[in-house]
A and B are shown apart, each in its own frame.
Chain A
Amino acid sequence: AQRVTQPEKLLSVFKGAPVELKCNYSYSGSPELFWYVQYSRQRLQLLLRHISRESIKGFTADLNKGETSFHLKKPFAQEEDSAMYYCALTLTGANSKLTFGKGITLSVRP
């Protein structure tokens, strides 16, 4: 069965510092990887997905199949980045149900 691991529960940084939120997955096939974000009092929303290879709000994530990782990075954190972040995967060609990690709280201090 597929599994997503987010090893840290909380990351606290100062504004302007680099950020890396870790995500590892276990699945023998070719999954699709996503990062979802939930800002305070808002609903869960898609931040980015690996197939798009986009940079959203300054965040990027590279799929490393050798290390089975999909870490989320941003070179300079902003206060508005403070939120809960979830890494998730779905199986290509399946009904696209998402398997989520436990999530990490990012706190960016002024």
Chain B
Amino acid sequence: GAGVSQSPRYKVAKRGQDVALRCDPISGHVSLFWYQQALGQGPEFLTYFQNEAQLDKSGLPSDRFFAERPEGSVSTLKIQRTQQEDSAVYLCASSWTTGRGTDTQYFGPGTRLTVL
């Protein structure tokens, strides 16, 4: 079946613009994660959903970052008033159950955001 998909794959924004990044998880996956990967770094956790509930948003770097998953499937990560330091690859991952530490996370291809 289809894996995790993300769109757009590439996004160029001018500083100050708002952007929206979409994630389509594997059908039936309860858990959904967003990670941010800066150049030369490993992915860093942003936020976690269990169905439509956002249970952990401790990794969101500022209040300019907002994520939602209103129907427990597709998720959108929104960044308002983008800054150059927001330039990174944004990864989405999903897993089957409620994320009790043993479930494999399946990653999407990522969205590469460049803020000019």
Interface positions of A (Cβ within 8 A of B): 4, 6, 32, 43-46, 49, 51, 86, 88, 90-103
Contacts and interface: CB of A to CB of B under 8 A. Distances in A.
Nearest to B103: A96
8 contacts: A32-B102, A93-B100, A95-B48, A95-B55, A96-B102, A96-B105, A97-B59, A98-B45
A45 B106 CA distance: 7
Label chain A's interface by main secondary structure.
loop
B101 A46 contact: no
Interface string B83-109: 000000001000100111111111111
Label chain B's interface by main secondary structure.
loop
B55 A46 contact: no
Contacts of A99: 45
B62 interface: no
Interface in B35-76: 35, 40-45, 48, 50, 55-56, 59
Given A43-B3, A43-B109, A43-B110, A92 B101 contact: yes
A43 B108 contact: yes
B55 to A, nearest CB: 6
Nearest to B55: A95
Nearest to A36: B107
Given A97-B59, A98-B105, 5 more contacts: A43-B4, A43-B109, A45-B106, A96-B31, A98-B33
Contacts of A88: 42
B72 to A, nearest CB: 16
Contact of A100 (B40, B44, B50): B44
